[in-house]
Chain A
Amino acid sequence: ETGVTQTPRHLVMGMTNKKSLKCEQHLGHNAMYWYKQSAKKPLELMFVYNFKEQTENNSVPSRFSPECPNSSHLFLHLHTLQPEDSALYLCASSPIGQNYGYTFGSGTRLTVV
C-alpha cells in the first residue's frame, strides 16, 4: 500500500445511479486531491482541499461532488454520470508548504454504462 487508500478499486454504474468514491490517508498530509485519468490524456486535476477547505475546482461538472470531512478522508460523490466520465480516478495527498512531493492512491477504475 502506498499510504493513500482508495475504495472501491473498480466500479460499474448506470447513468442514473448515485455512488461515492472514498480516499483515506494516514500520512499526516493536509492537502488532498482528486485527479481524473482518461485514455491518452494527461492527468487532469479536479479538486484540491487544503486543511479540509476546497481551494480549487477545475471547472468540474456538478455531477461530481467532492466532500472532505477531515484532513484524512476525501470523497467523490457521483450522480447522473455520462459514459465519457469513464476513467481512472486518482486520489493524492501532500504536505502543504513543504517540498516533499505527492503520494497517490491506486485509483478507482470507473465505468459508466
Chain B
Amino acid sequence: KQEVTQIPAALSVPEGENLVLNCSFTDSAIYNLQWFRQDPGKGLTSLLLIQSSQREQTSGRLNASLDKSSGRSTLYIAASQPGDSATYLCAVTLTGANNLFFGTGTRLTVIP
C-alpha cells in the first residue's frame, strides 16, 4: 500500500522567507503527484500537478520537484506572504489506478 509522508507537520516562518516543504512516498510506480492547498475548514485547491515523466513544475512563486526513484517531492515557496498560510497536502496517483493517496499535510504559518 502506498504511504505518503510529509515533513514537517507544521512550520512557521517570517514573511519574505523562502521555504521548502517535503513529501515522500513508498511506491515509486506513481502516475502523477499533485500538491494542494487547504485553508481551515475548506476544500482543497490544486496548486501543481507533476506527471511521472516530469522533474518539476512551476507556477508563480511555487516550484514543485519530483524524484521518482527516491520517492520524493518538494514544494518550494519563494518570498512567502501571510496569505500563503494554509495546510499544504501532497498526493500521488498510482499507475493503473484512479485514487489519490494523501499525506497528512504541512501546516504553514507565515508571520507578518
* Interface of A toward B, CB cutoff 8 Å: 2, 4, 6, 31, 33, 35, 40-43, 45, 48, 50, 56, 88, 90, 92, 94, 96, 99-107, 109
Name B residues whose Cβ lies closer than 8 Å to a Cβ of A: 4, 31-32, 34, 36, 41-46, 49, 51, 89, 91, 98-105
Complex interface: chain B residues within 8 A of A40 (CB): 104
A50 contacts across to B, CB distance below 8 A: 98
- Cβ–Cβ contact A103 & B46, under 8 A: yes
A106 contacts B43, CB within 8 Å?
yes
A42 B102 Cβ-Cβ under 8 A: yes
Which residues of A have CB within 8 Å of B98?
Answer: 31, 48, 50, 94, 96
Q: Are B104 and A45 in contact (CB under 8 A)?
A: no
Q: Which of B43, B49, B89, B91 contacts A100 (CB 8 A)?
A: B49
With a CB–CB cut-off of 8 A, which chain A residues contact B105? 42
Complex CA–CA separation, A42 to B43 (angstroms) = 14
Complex CA distance for A94 and B34, rounded to whole angstroms: 13
Task: State whether A2 touches B43 (Cβ < 8 A).
Answer: yes
- Residue in B43, B44, B98, B105 whose Cβ sees the most chain A Cβ within 10 Å: B43
Q: Which residue of B lies closest to A102 (CB)?
A: B100
Contact partner of A104 among B44, B49, B51, CB < 8 A?
A: B44
Chain B residues whose C-beta falls within 8 Å of the C-beta of A48 in the assembled complex: 98-99
Q: Chain B residues near A43: list those with CB within 8 A.
A: 89, 91, 100, 102
Known: A48-B98, A101-B34. A2 touches B45 (CB 8 A): yes
Q: Are B51 and A99 closer than 8 Å at their CB atoms?
A: yes
Separation in Å of the B23 CB from the closest CB of chain A? 12
Q: Which residue of B34, B46, B51 has the most chain A CB atoms within 10 A of its CB atom?
A: B46
- Give the most central of B46, B98, B103: most A CB within 10 Å: B98
**Residue of A whose beta carbon sits closest to that of B100:** A102
Assuming the A-B contacts A100-B49, A102-B46, A103-B46, are A88 and B41 also in contact, with contact meaning beta carbons closer than 8 angstroms in the complex?
Answer: yes
A99 near B43: Cβ-Cβ < 8 Å: no
Most buried by B among A90, A102, A105: A102
